[in-house]
Amino acid sequence: MVVEIIVLGIGATLLMDLWALLRRRWFAIAALDYGWVGRWLGHMRHGQFRHAAIAKAPPLRGERLLGWGFHYLTGLLFAAAFLAWVGQAWLQRPALLPALAFGVLTMAAPLLLMQPAFGMGIAARLAPKPWLVRQRALLTHLVFGLGLYLSGAALAWLD
């Protein structure tokens, strides 16, 4: 199942990144700067887990690479969790609804972990437009779920 986890995790994360690229091009909506993710992770080694504003935290060497690597590692971990939840039989007959539902569940990571750590509060409550941030997170994570489904469908088709 390692190959399947890799295909699902990378496929779903790639689709999410493609969505971010299209969203930026079509609607001028900025994507998350994964350098900030790397900055957040890098500051953890000094015992700092929360920031008043991650963009104002001192930049770290290699933060962008660290952030992007963590982004794809998270996609792999989510794919493994998804397969543990739905079972290996899902790979023979992928279904869209469980993948989308799991995509919604993955929203817990940004809403409850990353946004508070970046200085935005739980569920972006301190952001200028919290409901807009939440809407965008929901759509992005639904796209991740769609990516799980499409990657699973590709695996089933190849099998």
- For the segment 92-137, what is each residue's pLDDT rounded down to a tens digit? 999 999 999 999 999 999 999 999 999 999 999 999 999 999 999 9
User: What's the confidence (pLDDT) of residue 155?
Assistant: 97
User: What's the confidence (pLDDT) of residue 83?
Assistant: 98
Tell whether the model's pLDDT for residue 154 goes beyond 90. Answer: yes
- pTM listed for this prediction: 0.94
CA atoms within 13 A on the CB side of 19: 19
Write the burial class of residue 37 (CB in 10 Å: 0-12 exposed, 13-18 middle, 19+ buried): buried
Determine the Cα–Cα distance for residues 47 and 31; give it in Å rounded to an integer.
Answer: 27
Q: List the beta strands (DSSP E) in the chain.
A: none
Mean pLDDT, rounded, for 17-22: 96
Taking Cα atoms as reference points, which of 70, 75, 74 lies closest to residue 41?
A: 70
Determine the Cα–Cα distance for residues 143 and 18; give it in Å rounded to an integer.
Answer: 10
Mean pLDDT, rounded, for 50-72: 94
User: What's the confidence (pLDDT) of residue 31?
Assistant: 86
Residue 126 per-residue DSSP state:
T
> Percent helix, strand, coil in the chain (nearest 5)?
75, 0, 25
Q: Could you tell me if 79 and 12 are in contact, meaning their C-beta atoms sit under 8 angstroms apart?
A: yes
Tell whether the model's pLDDT for residue 159 goes beyond 90. Answer: no
Work out the pLDDT band at 32, boundaries 50, 70, 90: confident
User: What's the confidence (pLDDT) of residue 13?
Assistant: 98
Determine the Cα–Cα distance for residues 127 and 138; give it in Å rounded to an integer.
Answer: 16
Show Cβ contacts of residue 95 under 8 Å, excluding neighbours closer than 6 positions: 149
